[in-house]
Amino acid sequence: MQPYSLDLRIRVGAACAQVGSRQQQAAERFGVSVSFIKKLSHQQRQTGSLAAKPASGGPARSIFPSEQTWLVAYVGQHADATLAELNAAWQAAFSRPVGQTSIWNVLDEHGLRRKKKQPRQ
């Protein structure tokens, strides 16, 4: 999800700074939530800035580069393996669970993503 633009943040901040303004009215006027306005006001008080915070990057990767190399090589040798079979082979090789989505993402990044079967016509 993309953060709100700095322009919108500035307009919301200015509207909330007006005497007698209410957060609910500003939220309706700009199409944002009241919780966003509360967080924006808190951020401005704490940092003096309305700019969006930098992205956190999400959770740490569960498959490390050396393990990705193993997975790509395994798929090269077992091209017809399903995700469930790849997951089982992964757990046997590394003795720790990993989600099938993580396996799928590695395959996708290496251009090995499985194509969906086309429906019969």
Whether the predicted model's global pTM rises above the 0.75 cut: no
Q: Which of 56 and 27 is assigned the larger pLDDT? A: 27
> What band does 91 get if pLDDT is binned at 50, 70 and 90?
very high
Please report, for the chain, the start and end positions of each structural domain, with discontinuous segments joined by +: 6-47, 65-109
> What band does 59 get if pLDDT is binned at 50, 70 and 90?
confident
Compute the radius of gyration of the chain from its Cα atoms. 24
Question: Of the candidates 36, 111, 89, 110, which has an alpha carbon nearest to the alpha carbon of residue 100?
Answer: 89
Q: Given phi > 0 = left and psi -120 to 50 = alpha, else beta, which region is 48?
A: left
Q: What is the pLDDT of residue 77?
A: 93
Determine phi and psi for 89, rounding to 5 degrees.
-65, -40
**Residues contacting 2, CB < 8 A, separation 6+:** none
